[in-house]
């Protein structure tokens, strides 16, 4: 916050409301987030907590006849909420790019993968078709799809999920964007392929210095990939900080609960811990802390007042009334 130029993405108090057949879905509820230039920032949260809605808002990919935004999103110090959608299109694919969960369905089935990469190049700059094709082949080889010449002419149905995700990465990186949003890029892939894709993303980041927002619900992937991580719950970031801070000193009960529900070792006798209950419905207003109903530390105050952001350390904050106590690993007074 102090130095704006350090941040590639800065989201202030974002609210996203979606008109759906079931009513007004308040998917993002006053969310603030900073992503620093060159870092990999993980976003963790349960399904339906608004992670995807939030990142799609960064690219303004929602159907805007059905979505109301409030708050600000700065990308590269431009408030993209002020941009006309026409200008937004110019930024997409050039300054920011996105890859998705299911590479099998994320590419047009009737166009060769090469052409789909080429299309991004020709849409964004005035290069000749030959030059664009040359660059498309180069990037295909760079993401490990060889021989590029042959793969270029193949259709998505002829490639495996892992290769398609590589194509997606090639396509998103072909114009050297400064921001790459990865919305659960490995969830649909099997474990060995997952590892390869993660390695590829790491090496791409190393060579280009791109900032990555990495959404996942796999804490192991976060530990492997990210510099910083933000924990999301019911449309808000509840805790954010360096990866080590969060893993060593979780200061929000939800973060703590997430770590406790991670499978440990191979001990089958011990039951995996779960978080009781279900996240609150995002159609309703939530008085107080959104996690209070499932929180084992909740006190009357939690149900009535929503907690403020508490700065715990440099770059580490959490929004829980008792964050300071958790952070310092003190016993809570009312803890049974």
> What residues line the site for another protein (CB under 8 A)?
59, 61, 89-94, 97-98, 100, 102, 105-111, 119-120, 123-124, 155, 157, 168, 171-172
Minimal distance, residue 168 CB to another protein, in Å: 7
Residue 176 or residue 305: which is nearer to another protein going by CB? 176
Whole-number Cα distances in Å, 326 to 103, 258, 335:
40, 14, 12
Residue 19's DSSP bridge partners are 24
Residue 121 or residue 246: which is nearer to another protein going by CB? 121
Minimal distance, residue 7 CB to another protein, in Å: 21
The tokens of 8 are what? 């590639």
H or E stretch covering 10 = strand 7-20
Residue 75 or residue 168: which is nearer to another protein going by CB? 168
Minimal distance, residue 156 CB to another protein, in Å: 9
Minimal distance, residue 99 CB to another protein, in Å: 8
Residue 58 or residue 286: which is nearer to another protein going by CB? 58
Minimal distance, residue 106 CB to another protein, in Å: 5
For the chain, the residue count is 336
DSSP for 163-200, please give it. Answer: HHHHHHHHHHHTT--SEEEEESTTTTS-HHHHHHHHHH
> For residues 161 and 188, is the Cβ–Cβ distance under 8 A?
yes
Residue 140 or residue 320: which is nearer to another protein going by CB? 140
Distance CA 230, CA 239 (A): 6
Whole-number Cα distances in Å, 151 to 117, 123, 192:
12, 22, 22
Residue 188 or residue 243: which is nearer to another protein going by CB? 188
Residue 122 or residue 208: which is nearer to another protein going by CB? 122
Minimal distance, residue 178 CB to another protein, in Å: 14
Minimal distance, residue 203 CB to another protein, in Å: 22
- How many contiguous H segments (helices) and E segments (strands) does the chain have? 12, 12
| Residues whose CB is less than 8 angstroms from the CB of residue 98 and which lie 6 or more positions away in sequence, other chains included | 55, 59, 61, 172, 180, 181, 182, 183
Minimal distance, residue 35 CB to another protein, in Å: 17
The tokens of 146 are what? 């060889």
What is the Cα gyration radius of the chain? 21
Residue 14 or residue 120: which is nearer to another protein going by CB? 120
Residue 152 or residue 297: which is nearer to another protein going by CB? 152
Whether cis (ω within 30° of 0) applies to the bond prior to 147 is: yes
Minimal distance, residue 127 CB to another protein, in Å: 15
> For residues 278 and 289, is the Cβ–Cβ distance under 8 A?
no
Sheet with 7-20: list strands edge to edge.
Answer: 23-36, 7-20, 67-75, 78-79
């Amino acid at each position: 916050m102090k130095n704006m130029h350090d941040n590639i993405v800065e989201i202030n108090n974002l609210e996203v409301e979606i008109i759906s057949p079931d009513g007004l879905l308040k998917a993002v509820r006053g969310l603030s987030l900073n992503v620093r230039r060159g870092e990999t920032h993980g976003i963790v949260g349960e399904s339906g907590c608004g992670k995807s809605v939030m990142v799609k808002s960064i690219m303004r990919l929602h159907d805007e006849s059905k979505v109301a935004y409030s708050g600000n999103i700065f990308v590269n110090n431009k408030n993209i909420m002020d941009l006309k959608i026409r200008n937004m299109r110019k930024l997409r694919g050039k300054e920011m790019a996105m890859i998705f969960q299911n590479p099998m369905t994320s590419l047009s089935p009737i166009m060769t993968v090469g052409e789909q990469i080429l299309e991004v190049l020709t849409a964004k700059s005035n290069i000749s078709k030959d030059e664009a094709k040359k660059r498309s082949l180069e990037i295909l080889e760079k993401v490990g799809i060889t021989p590029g010449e042959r793969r270029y002419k193949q259709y998505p149905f002829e490639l495996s999920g892992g290769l398609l995700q590589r194509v997606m990465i090639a396509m998103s990186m072909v114009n050297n964007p400064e921001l790459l949003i990865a919305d659960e890029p490995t969830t649909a892939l099997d474990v060995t392929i997952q590892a390869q894709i993660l390695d590829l993303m790491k090496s791409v980041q190393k060579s280009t210095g791109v900032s990555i927002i990495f959404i996942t619900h796999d804490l192991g992937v976060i530990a492997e990939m990210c510099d910083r991580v933000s924990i999301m719950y019911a449309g808000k970031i509840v805790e954010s900080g360096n990866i080590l801070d969060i893993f060593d000193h979780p200061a929000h009960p939800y973060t703590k609960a997430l770590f406790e529900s991670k499978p440990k070792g191979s001990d089958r006798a011990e039951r995996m811990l779960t978080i009781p209950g279900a996240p609150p419905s995002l159609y309703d207003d939530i008085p107080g802390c959104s996690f209070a109903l499932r929180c084992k530390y909740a006190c009357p105050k939690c149900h009535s007042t929503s907690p403020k952001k508490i700065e715990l350390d440099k770059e580490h904050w959490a929004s829980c009334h008792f964050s300071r106590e958790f952070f310092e690993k003190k016993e809570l007074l009312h803890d049974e």
